[in-house]
Structures are given as structure tokens and as C-alpha cells.
Structure 1
Amino acid sequence: MNISAMIKLTISMAIFGSIGFFTINTGVPAVELVFVRCICATLFLSGMWYLTGGHKIEKWNKNEILRTFLCGIFLVLNWVFLFKAFEEMSISIAISIYNLAPIFVLILGTLFLREKMTVSGVLATVICFIGSIFIVGIENFQSVDQLLNSGFLWAILSAICYALTMFTSKTIHGLSPYATTFLQTIVGIVMLLPFSNFEVFMDLTTTNWLFILGTGIIHTGFVYYLFFDSIRSLPTLIISVLVFVDPVVAILLDTILLDFRPTLLQSLGIILIFAGIVFTVFKPAKKSTLNVEEKEVVS
């Protein structure tokens, strides 16, 4: 087991768990905040890349660069949609829905890799869907306007894009974590520049700017370097366990610092969502682990 990679992933997930708290204190809308994050991360990563000398030994592959650009598009959209969700609903609710990503990875595997959807997979999907209804509130599903205003759509879109990010990032092996994240944040700058309203940065306080720089340098540059550096050296089972550090930290901060108090149905929804995710993640992972062990014994 790669202990160093485990520590890196744990730290990255713990820090990312505070992103919601930082986001709501920036005073900047989602698109503009992600744009600044991409600029900060690009400068931070290019500086680290240069100082470590990694740019001199980088091995460029056209196909991997194209996959990295595609992954970058999903990553940036994931951030924008998540921050839009934070604007409409509590951090705990948004993060709980956001972490439905493993369910969407399962669905993507069924659609694009022709993997068979098992009974347990269907059951987990249904459980998570019911949990989503409870967590957002049944009353918000009575009309399209109520659903849009609840932030549910943004949270679901962020989860789908997060799943697509994970789906495509596993195909990137040759590029270094610096190069991978650097290319992705460059994509973000190009994507969001035409849509950014720079007037929103007027009259911001020093505190606002500290939170903005924090989300850019720490949550984007530092965290994503640790994330992409660590997942390449860890088995899927360990990654699946450690990513739960993110929502746990987010919900704790929301409860302790922002006084979030879920209703009984919302609490049940959170439990159902994470129960479905755990059921989805660990059962296939355990089966896969056993198959690997059997193959090693045979060989």
C-alpha cells in the first residue's frame, strides 16, 4: 500500500471539504469565481512545475493531451454547477447530491462500456434517487420552477460532471499531475473568459479576496495536484473510501460554523444517499478485489 499517496488523497479531500464554506464567503458568483480559481491554479502549478524541473522531462502525447482537455471541460463545468448549487441550497445538501457521482459512474459504465447493470446497482440508484427527493424536499418537485429554484438541478449537473471527470481522468497515465492540472485550468480560463463579468470584483473586501485566493491557490492548485498525483498510485477501493472525507468535513463545517440543522426527512435523505453510494462502491470493489486475488493465485 502506498502510504504517501493515501496521505495526499486524505489531505486533498479534507481541504476540499471546506470549499463550500470558502465559496459562500467570496461574494463572487459561480462563473467568475471558477475563472479566478483557474487563473490562480495555473500560476501556482506552472510555478511549481518550473521549480521542480518537471517541465524539462515531461512526455507529451497527443491523445492524452486531448483526453486531458476533455477532462478539463468536465472539471470546470463541475465547479461551476457546484458553486451554483451552493448559491441556492445549504452546503450539506449540495455536497450530499454532489457525491452521487459514483452512481453516475456506474450508469456511464453501463451506457458506454457495455457493463451490465446489476440488481444491486439498480437498487442503489433507486435508493439514492429517493434520498435526493427527501433531501431537497418533496414540495420542490411539484413544478419545474420550484425544482430549478431549489438548486437541485445544479447539484445533479455537478455530480454528473464530477463522474465524467473521474471517468476520463483514469485514462490519463503519461502526463504528470502538474501537466494534467495545468492543462485543465488553462481550458477553464479559455472557456469562462467570454462569460465572466468583471464588475463583480468591484468593492470586494479584503476578507472576500482572501477567500477567493484561498479557493484558487489552495482548493484548486494544491488540492488538485495532490488528488491527481495520488489516485494513480491507489486501488479503486481505497480511493472510494477516502473520497468520503470530503462530504464529512463539508457537513461538519456546515453544521458547526453555519448552523445548518437538517429536518428529519433531510437527515433520512442524507443517510439514504450515502447508504446507496457505499453499497455501490464497496460491493463491486470487493468482488473486483477477490477476482484479482484469484488470478494471482492461479498465476
Structure 2
Amino acid sequence: MNGSAMIKLTISMAIFGSIGFFTINTGIPAVELVFVRCICATLFLSGMWYLTGGHKTEKWSKDEILRTLLCGVFLVLNWVFLFKAFEVMSISIAISIYNLAPIFVLILGTLFLRERLTISGILATAICFVGSIFIVGIENFQSIDQFLNSGFIWALLSAICYALTMFTSKTIQNQSPYATTFIQTIVGIIMLLPFCNFELFTDLTTSNWLYILGTGIIHTGFVYYLFFDSIRNLSTIVVSVLVFVDPVVAILLDSILLDFRPTIIQTVGIILIFAGIIYIVFKPADKRVVDVDEKEAIS
């Protein structure tokens, strides 16, 4: 077990747990915030990359660059969708749905890595799905439009993109974390530039800018350096466990600083989501229901 990698990932997840609190105090929408984050992170990482001399010894591979670019698209979309969710729903609710990502990693592994679909996987997915329905408070919605505008779809999309980010980043082994994150934030700048409304930056306060710079330098540059430096040296199970530090910190801050108080149904939903993810993380081996090889043999 790589102790240093575990510490780095734990620190990155703990810091990222405060992203919701920072986001709601920036005073700008999701797209503009992610755009500024990408600029700040690019400057921070390029500076660190240069000062450490890493740019001189970087190992470049066309295949890894292409995978990094794809991972960057998923990462940027993950941020945008998560911040969109923060705009319309509680941080705790959004983060709880966001952390369905390990379940989607399981599904991706089944589809693309020929991993077995197990009873544990199906059961965990069902538990998390029920939990997500409880947590969004579906009983309070009178129409489909009202449900779609609740932020649930944004949070769910962010979870899917987060899973795709973790899934693709595991295939990047030779590039340094500086190079990986630098490329991804450049992707974000290019992606979001046409969609930014720069007039929104004219009336920001000093406090707004401090929160914006915090999300850019700390939550993007520093956190994702630690994230990509550690995830390649840890097993999927260990990563899936340590990412729980993020929602724990987020829910604590939401409860202490923003007076979030979930309903009984929402509390049950949060418990079901975490229970489903913990179940699949700590009980990965189970009697298989469908084996990919058997499916191919039958077909």
C-alpha cells in the first residue's frame, strides 16, 4: 500500500469537500467559474512545473496525450455540471448524488474492461438509485419540468463525468501530474471561452475574487495535482473508499456554516447512497450474474 499516495488523495478530497461553500460565494455562474478556475490552475501548474524542472524530463506519448485530452473534457464537464447543481440545490444533496460516481465506475468496468457483473453490483446500484430518488425529494414535485429544474440531473451528470474522469485517468501512467492537469485545464479554457459572459465579472467584490481565486488555485491547481499524482498509485477500491472524505467534509460544512437540515426522507436517501457505495467497495467479489465471456459465447 502506497502510504504517501493515500495521504495525498485524502488531503485532496478533504480540501475538495469545501468547494461547494466556496462556489456559492464567488458570485458568478458555473461556466464562468470553471473558466476562471482553469486559467488559475494553468498558471499555477505551469509555474510549479517550471520551478521543479519537470518540463525538462517530461515523457510525452501521443496515446497518453489523446487520453489526457479526453479526460480533460470529462473533468471540465464534471465541474460545470456540479456547479450548476450547487446553484439550485443544497450542497449536501448535490454532493451525495455526485458521489454515485463509484457505481458508474463499476458499470464502466463491466462494459469496457470485461469485468463481471455481480449480484453485489446490481444490488448496490439499485440501493443508490432509490437513495438518489429519496434525497432529491421527488414527492415534492408536481411536474417533470419541476423535477428537471431541481438540480438532480446536473448532479447526476456530474457524477457520470466524474466516473469517466477517474476511469480514463487510470490509463495515464507516464505523464507527470503537472503535465496531465496542465493539459486538462488548457482544454477547459478552450472549451468554455466561447460560452463565457465577461460582463459578469465587472461587479464582483473583493470577497468574490478571493473565493474565485481560492477555487482556481487551491481547489483546481493544488487539489488536482494531488489527485492525479495519487490515483495512479492506488487500487480502485482504495480510491473509492478515500473519496468519501469529500462528501463528509461537504456535509459537515453545509450543516455548520449554512445551517443545512435534511428531512427524514433525505437523510434516508443519503444513508442509502453511502451504504450502496460502501457495499460495493468492501464486497466486490460475489456470485456472478452475467459474465461477459459467457454472453459472447451464447451470442
| Aligned positions of 1:228-247 closer than 5 A | 228-247=228-247
Change (3 A) 1:268 1:227: same
Gaps of 5+ in 1: 288-299
2:208 aligned partner: 208
- SS of the residue aligned with 2:284? helix
**Quick one: which amino acid aligns to residue 109 of structure 1?**
G
Q: What residue is the counterpart of 1:11 in the other structure?
A: 11
Q: 1:234 Cα shift?
A: 2.1
For structure 1, which segment, 105-114 or 187-196, has the greater mean C-alpha deviation from structure 2 after superposition?
Answer: 105-114
Write the distance in 2 (CA, Å) between the matches of 1:51 and 1:76.
26
Q: CA RMSD in A?
A: 1.4
2:60 aligned partner, one-letter code = W
TM-score between both structures, scaled by the size of structure 2? 0.93
Q: Which amino acid aligns with 1:90?
A: S
Distance 1:89 1:38, change over 3 A: same
Residue 219 of structure 1 aligns with which residue?
A: 219
Corresponding residue number in structure 1 for 2:294: none
The aligned counterpart of 1:67 is 67
Aligned pair in 2 of structure 1 residues 251, 180: CA closer, same or farther (>3 Å)?
Answer: same
What TM-score comes out, normalization by structure 1 length? 0.93
* Residues 95-174 of structure 1: pairs in structure 2 closer than 5 A: 95-139=95-139, 143-174=143-174
Q: Residue 176 of structure 2 corresponds to which residue in structure 1?
A: 176
84-93 vs 106-115, which moves further: 106-115
State the match for 1:196 in structure 2.
196
Distance (Å, rounded) in 2 between the aligned partners of 1:123 and 1:238: 21
Which stretches of structure 1, 4 residues or longer, exceed 4 Å deviation after superposition? Answer: none
Deviations 1:144-189 (A, max 9, x none): 2012211000000000000000110000001000000000000000
Q: How many residues align?
A: 287
Structure 2: how far apart are the matches of 1:286 and 1:115? 12
Conserved? CA contact 2:45–2:178, under 8 Å: yes
CA distance in 1, matches of 2:140, 2:158: 19
Tell me by how many angstroms 1:286 deviates: 10
What residue is the counterpart of 2:291 in the other structure?
none
Uncovered stretches (5+) of structure 2, i.e. residues with no partner: 288-299
My pick for the range that moved more, 136-145 or 40-49, is 136-145
CA contact (8 A) 1:34 1:79 kept: yes
Q: Which residue of 2 aligns with 1:296?
A: none
Matching residue's letter, 1:10:
T
Tell me what 1:186 maps to.
Answer: 186
Q: Is the 8 A contact 2:138 2:147 kept in 1?
A: no
| Paired residues of 1:102 and 1:277 also in contact (CA < 8 A) | yes
Between Structure 1 and Structure 2, which shows a larger proportion of helix residues? 1
Give yes or no for contact 1:237–1:285 (8 Å, CA) kept in 2. Answer: no
CA distance in 2, matches of 1:64, 1:94: 32
8 Å contact from structure 2 (residues 172, 232) kept in 1:
no
Please tell me whether residue 268 in structure 1 is matched to residue 275 in structure 2: no
Whole-angstrom distance in 2 between the partners of 1:96 and 1:127: 13
Q: Determine if contact 2:32/2:196 at 8 Å carries over to the other structure.
A: yes
Give how far 1:10 is off. 1.0
Deviation at 1:141, TM superposition (A): 5.7
